[in-house]
Amino acid sequence: MAFAALMLTACGTYEVMDNSGQSMMNSAGVYTQVNLHPDMKRSRLYTVNYQMDGLIPLCSEVVLLTASKKVLKFKDKSTNQVFSFYYHGSAGEPLMDYLTKFFGRDCKTSDVEKLSAIDQQGIKKGIAIKGMSRKGVIFAMGYPPPHKTPSLESDSWTFWVNRFGTMRVVFDKKGLVSEIIR
């Protein structure tokens, strides 16, 4: 687990610690665990995982700048753009626990290399494609919001496209994408 502890400092901000007790704030060696889809114009992401216009690829190195109960600010090292990752209670778990799905000390390239060519194509584009596995969809789009998809074993995952619209990714009996409904 990437974030083992979260410590409140005297000024009301949080210190994010890895499982060896080292701070991950303002340090090198923190990577995206899935593709992130930010609202590039507003430099925002949300724990409900809106599938916005931007793409921060899997394994992008980031710097965690500040953390509070509701917001994590981080910088994408390849572009130097600063983003705010906003917590929404529908995430179903505390912000820092939820963030372990998105940020960590390791990069998942070896996991991706083991996936099919169609999975790798979808991950590169940041979208679901017919024939992708569940794992490939997670790397490509991130985790579906738990209030819309309570189980990753479900045959249908619902993602928010924006505040007002959703899309569904439907899996067949083999666990491969059979349909994408927008």
CB-CB contact of 19 with 97 (8 Å): no
Confidence (pLDDT) at 86: 92
Q: Sort 136 into a burial class: Cβ within 10 Å, 0-12 / 13-18 / 19+.
A: buried
Do the beta carbons of residue 177 and residue 137 sit within 8 Å? Answer: yes
The mean predicted confidence, pLDDT, of the chain is 88
Tell which residue, 84, 86, 78, has the closest CA to residue 62: 78
pLDDT average, residue stretch 46-57: 93
Residue bearing the bigger pLDDT, 56 or 147 = 56
- The domain spans of the chain are 5-104, 116-181
pLDDT band for 101, please (50, 70, 90 cuts). confident
Q: What is the pLDDT at residue 124?
A: 97
CA distance 59 to 103: 9
Give 74's strand partners. Answer: 64, 83
Least confident of 16-25, 91-100, 145-154: 16-25
